[in-house]
Every structure is written in structure tokens, then in C-alpha cells.
Amino acid sequence: MGIIKVRDLVYEYIRRDEEGNVEGITTAVDDVDLDIEQGDFVAILGHNGSGKSTLAKHLNAILYPVEGTVWVDGKDTKEEKYVWDIRQTAGMVFQNPDNQIIGQIVEEDVGFGPENMGVPTKEIWERVEESLKAVGMYQFRKFSPNKLSGGQKQRVSIAGVIAMHPKCIVLDEPTAMLDPKGRKEVIRAVRALNDVEHITVILITHYMEEVIHADKVYVMDQGKVAIQGTPREVFSEVEKLKELRLDVPQVTLLAYELAKEGFHMPKGVLTNQEFREALDQCMR
């Protein structure tokens, strides 16, 4: 069994009026199945309100399924005794960097997770050092988080999660509030974790460029998985993605439009390099 397995997951947000009567039910996640293997880089795509963040919060036992089951490393998230194990196995990075940094100094914040787990003092320091180095923030260890840029803050948040030695990291739109430079920094750090440390990464985003390196992509719409497959498979379905109000990377779109005009272009071109090669082939 993989690191994360989700079966028939349903989650409903229930709105209540002041007397506590049910006013309405919104099904945020509707019958989702997910299988993620150890070491994978998985991207979950979707526009606002597609249920992707709700799904993410299930992987860390912050939310519990209304129906269906989520297993993290073989443990059912509904079982209370496993909650802390699960949160340690699947770390989570949130959207707003300001609202998830607890410490007043970078190194103290990274040490927060291990402190909560009861790791001995000496080992906390080792973990803080190695995780700050892994995201390239070691030289900022004595800084106040308030003096860092958004991308740097988000890398500190990631270091704070790695210091807990998780098998898997769930990143819930970590780049949504960042400028393009910060976004690149964060994505580079995340990819390095996956390549070098072999930590399973689940990246939730609505930026298409960030998912082209993923092993598997899930596209969500209205709480359901609409498309799944490798990035190439997913981006071959340009029409369907447009229907879901999602953009495709610009090269992919260009290749698609050219193919429509009768040029011989392969489906699902993802990078500039691939496009150039395909174009060379055409011209010959």
C-alpha cells in the first residue's frame, strides 16, 4: 500500500443559522479516490472552490471524512490514537506564510515541531540545522521572520515541516501569495526535497507551470477528480481543461493551436525545449 490511500472520500460543510438549525450543506469533496506512492511528486490542480484544499486537510487529520476513509501510512485518520502519528508523517504547509510561523526567530520556528514531538534538545538543533540547509535558509537562522520576503518565509515554513522528519509533505497553495521570484524559490526547494531527500510531495496549486514536473496530476472540479494522469496526459486534454476554467501552460497551448491548424505537433508539449524539438521536426 502506498503512503496515502483515499477511498470514497466525501466531506460536507454544514452551514447553521443562529439556533443551530442546518441551513444548507455544501459538498466540498465528493467521492474521491487517491493513491499516492512513497517518493512521488503529486500535483492537485483546480480553480477556487474545487475542493482541493479541503482534500488536503484530510491528509493531515485536520478534517475527518464524513464518508469514506483516508489512510496515511496505513493508519486510518479517523482513529484518534493515530492523530499525532499522522500529523508527523504528513506535514502540511499552508498558503499564508505570516499565519503559520510561530517563532520570533527563524531557528526557533523551525524547532517548534520537534519541540512538540518531544525530541531531545541536542537532536532539535541537528534537525533545525539540516532542514534549514535543505531549503537554503541556514544563513538566515538568526533573523526575525518579519524581515524575510514571502518566498523566504515560505521556505522557513517548509523547513519547519521537514524538521519533523515527515514521509510526506502536503503543500496547500504555498505560492498563491508570492511574487514570481518567490514562487520559483519555493518550487525549487520543494523539488529538491523530492529529488534529494525522496520525501513524497503533494502540491496543491492553480499555477500550471508548477505541475509539469510532477509524477502524477489530479485535476479537481466541484469536489470530484475530473482528470488524472501524468502531466503529459492531463495537458493533452486542452479542451477539457478549458471547460474546467483552467489555463494550460503557454507552450502547450501554442502547440495545441498549431496542431489544430494542421501542423504535425505531438500532444501535450510541456516545455520550451520539447516545443523547439517538435517545431524542428515540423520544419524538416
Partner 1 sequence: MLRDITLGQYYQVDSVIHRLDPRVKLGTTILFIISLFVFDGVGGYAAAALFLALVIRLSNVPFRFMIKGMKSIVFLLSITVVFNLFLTPGEPMFRLWKLTVTQEGVRLAVLLSIRLGFLIIGSSVMTLTTTPNQLTDGLEKMLKPLNKLKVPVHEIAMMMSIALRFIPILMEETDKIMKAQLARCADFESGNLIKKAKSLVPLLVPLFISAFRRANDLAMAMEARCYRGGEHRTKMKPLQYEKRDYIAYLIVLCYLVAGVILGKLLPVLLGTVLA
Sites of contact with partner 1 (CB under 8 A)? 60, 62, 84, 87-88, 91-92, 94, 96, 98-105, 107-108, 111-121, 124-125, 128, 145-147, 160-161, 164
Q: Which is nearer to partner 1, 119 or 178 (CB)?
A: 119
Between CA 147 and CA 45, with CA 109 as vertex, the angle to 5 degrees is 85
Write down the least CB distance from residue 127 to partner 1, Å: 10
- 34-to-41, 149, 232 alpha-carbon distances in Å: 13, 34, 19
Name the residue among 263, 267, 268 with its Cα closest to residue 279.
Answer: 263
Residue 31: exposed, middle, or buried by beta-carbon count in 10 A (0-12, 13-18, 19+)? middle
Q: Which is nearer to partner 1, 155 or 216 (CB)?
A: 155
Write down the least CB distance from residue 12 to partner 1, Å: 19
Write down the least CB distance from residue 246 to partner 1, Å: 26
Strand order in the sheet with 41-45: 90-93, 168-172, 200-205, 41-45, 216-221, 224-229
**Under DSSP, is residue 149 helix (H, G, I), strand (E, B) or coil?**
coil
- How far separated are the first and last CA of the chain, in Å rounded? 48
Q: Which is nearer to partner 1, 46 or 114 (CB)?
A: 114
Number of Cβ within 10 Å of residue 8's Cβ equals 12
Between CA 176 and CA 183, with CA 181 as vertex, the angle to 5 degrees is 30
Write down the least CB distance from residue 57 to partner 1, Å: 8
Q: Which is nearer to partner 1, 125 or 263 (CB)?
A: 125
Q: Which is nearer to partner 1, 20 or 118 (CB)?
A: 118
Q: Which is nearer to partner 1, 193 or 255 (CB)?
A: 193
